[in-house]
Structure 1
Amino acid sequence: MASVPQYFTHYPNMDSGFPFHLKINTLTKGFPSHRHDYLEFSYVIEGSGNEIINGVTHPMRPGTFTLVMPYQYHEIHPDPGQRLSLYNCNFGIHLYAPGEPIPGIDWQSTEAELPPFVQMSGDGHERMCRILQELMQEYTGSEAWKHALIKAKLMELLVQFDRTRRETASGEAGSQHTSDRTASRGSIWRVIQHIHAHYQEDLTLSGLAERFGFSIPYLSELFKKTIGQNFVTFVHEVRIRQACGLLVSTEMNVSDIALETGYGSYNTFARIFRETKGMTPVAYRKMKAAKPMHEEA
């Protein structure tokens, strides 16, 4: 019997004021199918294997850069006898400002999909290795403007990735990815991005359905199929994650954080927070506030 894919809901620094984590991992056996609600990239530096993203397999070898979107099922398998070493980075959708274009991530696309990976070689491979080394140096360091430079280096990586895959795709005849499923996923990404940008507002399924041209039952079904959660649970998850970041990175009063994250009632906020995190907001702040950004690595 096939195992049920895991759904990961946490990575180091996820609930901090700077949701970013970078690490070099080495795999000697397969990493099973899983998904999560944050963005992830990997870059192979040694060994070989393959990765499966939403049922489509691609090879992995030194120079393979892969960008996994939220909620995509993916798994990695090293070749027999191989040690697969790769950079692995997790970062939140809200690392950049709402509406800010991010290379390689087109929330509104309903066109044929570009592949989620590229194979870098020669000068391109050397450039990616240099950027990643500088990114790791900033991540593990403590110099002024650390977060600003990390965001700039991450943006540079994503630019190189998207340029390369567009150049590669333009040289290939046709697209094998066009489908109604692609159009549906492109549409739901617009709704997801809107929720992340407007979580402070009064959000309703009926209001979003009207705004984005869905029927209420169809949008409800899209949430369950794409995210594996219903609409209300997803909105709470986005708001509580934002609240966690404010609890750790600011000195705001907890009541003000409740209002800032879209909860008109403090009691509702406190109840949802405890149900989600297993503790009160004050206890969470005490537990998390003193940890440096890469301590959880």
Structure 2
Amino acid sequence: MNRASRITDPSYELMDDHNGLSIIYRQHGFPCPLVRWHFHKEFELHLIVASSGKVFIGDYIGNFYPQTLFLTGPNLPHNWISQVAEDEVVEKRDMLVNFTDELFESGHQVFTELKTLAPLLERAQYGIEFRDPEMIRQAMVLMQQIADTRGITRLGHFFILMELLAASDEYLLLSGANNTQLADEHNIDRTNRAVDYIFAHYARELTLEEVAEHLGMKPTYFSRVFKQATGRNFIEFVNRLRISKSCELLADGDKPVTEVCFESGFNNISNFNRRFQQLKGMTPSHYRRLAVQRLTEQNNA
């Protein structure tokens, strides 16, 4: 049985522990109070080191695994929900670094070399997933060096890591909506509870009315709040989550496509095929062939 963390703390995260430092390093496991649909003023460089599950960044829904690396910009809502067994605890799931715009806006006036990072930071407002396995391996080493050091040495490792990321051309921009469209402190906490509920129940028949009732909201009002916070209407959000699940099943096993369809939450194969084609630009069978080919190439590298 999969479990979604049911956290209802305020979803604007105020990081008041800078203590005059330029960057904040943190690591945590799952479940954890930090795992929720939330946003904050800081950039976040986020490395997954254990477990797999669903990532939500802006209006993007995708899969994460160990050794996946993301960068999110200021006020861009995000969450990573691990798919784990009931009562399973992941001691160390995430390694992350937070930093603000001010670090680079002030820094490049003194160190002109920092201006080369501007395109990377601009892209981050939509969320970035890095896709180069060799670069990610190097990033993991640097992230550990950041964890193990303090002061100027830590800052040095951080800038080397940022330069590495800025030079990479193997990345995916994630959200079609940016931070200014999605960040809303009042609505996002309710959306956090809605996303948790949807994540726990999307594999069965699930209606907007059911989720609205769970939140104690009228369906029309919930629909408006949900779209404002996620950039997607309810049906589109659920379908994207189901297609993301189907991609995971297609890539990781040899279940028949029909079985993948129903396990992902769709109730008929024609609707599943149509939605998959719309979102992925190919059939489920074609996607599976490409996933197997990609895995074979990685294993032979």
Output the TM-score relative to the length of structure 2: 0.47
> Whose helix fraction is larger, Structure 1's or Structure 2's?
2
Output the TM-score relative to the length of structure 1: 0.47
